[in-house]
Each structure stands twice: as structure tokens, then as C-alpha cells.
């Protein structure tokens, strides 16, 4: 069964604790459980790192292991050409997810390097955005 990589960038380890008025009260573990349920019968590799290079390495690993990537690059969305370049080396579907509606927030959150590669972008649906993204790619792979 094809594997879906679900990648999470900096500070998402603090989900449920950091700015709950923006990101909600559910934790990263809650999110992982939600994603596993949404993906069935597909398997997922669910990962989070605060380090840009680690995210880049995981995208490289996805080239061999994954049929699709669902990624919330978090702050790296707005800064990282390295994450964009890594995603450009991945052939399968890529969906970019943001928990918050980034376009309603500060201007620096309105630009996404990752959107230059993403096949779809979901913002503002809370954790439900991951569910929608996973169901979408599960239907493609
Ligand atoms: C985020 C939005 C980003 O602007 C922010 O840096 C994050 C999380 C979101 O899920 O809404 O860390 O990607």
C-alpha cells in the first residue's frame, strides 16, 4: 500500500500549547491519530522537526518511500527556498496545509515558497485541513 508522508515544520511540536486561540487545543499526538484514521487503509509516516535541514532530508527520503506528501512547513513556508527545491525533486502529489487562515494574518504570512510547488493549498480549516489533504491524495495514489 503506498505510503503518505505527513511532514510538520517548526513549533508544531507545541500544538495545543502555543497560541491556542490560533492553532487550537489539540496536540501533535491528537493530530497524528486524526491523520492515521483519515489515511486508512493507507499507511502514513508522520514527522515533525524544528530544523529546516531535517525537513529537507525527509523530503529526499520521500522520493524513495512515499507516493504523496502532505506538508505543513509552518514558518519555513515563508522563508525556505531549500524546502521548495526539495519538493521540486519529488514527483508525486504535494498538498500544503496551514491550520490557520494565513491570508487573514500578518502580511509576511501571505507569501509561500512552497505554494510554487504544491498541487493544492488548504488554510484555515484547523486540523481538518490535514484530513481533507490526506483524503485527497489517498484518492490519487
Ligand atoms: C502555520 C502558519 C505559519 O504562518 C506559522 O508560521 C506556523 C503554522 C499554520 O499551520 O497555520 O507555524 O503553518
Over the stretch 44-56, which tens digit does the pLDDT of each residue have?
999 999 999 999 9
Percent of the chain with pLDDT over 90: 99
CA angle 26, 32, 37 (to 5 degrees): 110
Query: Among residues 100, 80, 83, 92, which one has the least CA distance to residue 138?
Result: 92
Q: Is 80 in the pocket of ligand 1 (CB under 6 A)?
A: no
Pocket test for ligand 1, best of 35, 71, 98 (most atoms within 8 A of CB): 98
> What's the helix, strand, coil split of the chain in %, to 5?
50, 20, 30
Task: Give Cα separations from 22 to 28, 66, 81, 104 (angstroms).
Answer: 15, 30, 26, 11
The answer to whether residue 98 is catalytic is yes
Domain 3-140 has CATH 3.40.50.10210: no
Report the predicted TM-score, pTM, of the whole model to 2 decimal places.
0.98
Give the chain's count of helices (H) and strands (E). 5, 5
Q: Is 11 in the pocket of ligand 1 (CB under 6 A)?
A: yes
Residue nearest to atom 1 of ligand 1 (CA): 74
Over the stretch 77-100, which tens digit does the pLDDT of each residue have?
999 999 999 999 999 999 999 999
Amino acid at each position: 500500500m503506498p505510503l503518505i508522508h505527513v511532514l510538520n515544520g517548526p513549533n508544531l511540536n507545541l500544538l495545543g500549547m502555543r497560541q491556542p486561540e490560533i492553532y487550537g487545543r489539540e496536540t501533535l499526538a491528537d493530530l497524528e491519530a486524526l491523520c492515521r484514521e483519515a489515511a486508512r487503509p493507507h499507511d502514513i509516516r508522520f514527522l515533525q522537526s524544528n530544523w529546516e535541514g531535517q525537513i529537507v532530508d525527509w523530503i529526499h527520503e520521500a522520493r524513495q518511500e512515499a507516493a504523496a506528501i502532505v506538508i505543513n512547513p509552518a514558518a519555513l513556508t515563508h522563508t525556505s527556498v531549500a524546502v521548495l527545491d526539495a519538493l521540486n525533486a519529488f514527483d508525486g502529489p504535494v498538498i500544503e496545509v496551514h491550520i490557520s487562515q494565513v491570508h487573514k494574518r500578518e502580511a509576511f504570512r501571505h507569501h509561500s515558497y512552497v505554494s510554487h510547488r504544491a498541487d493544492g493549498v488548504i488554510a484555515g480549516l484547523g486540523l481538518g485541513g490535514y484530513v481533507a489533504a490526506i483524503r485527497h491524495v489517498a484518492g490519487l495514489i
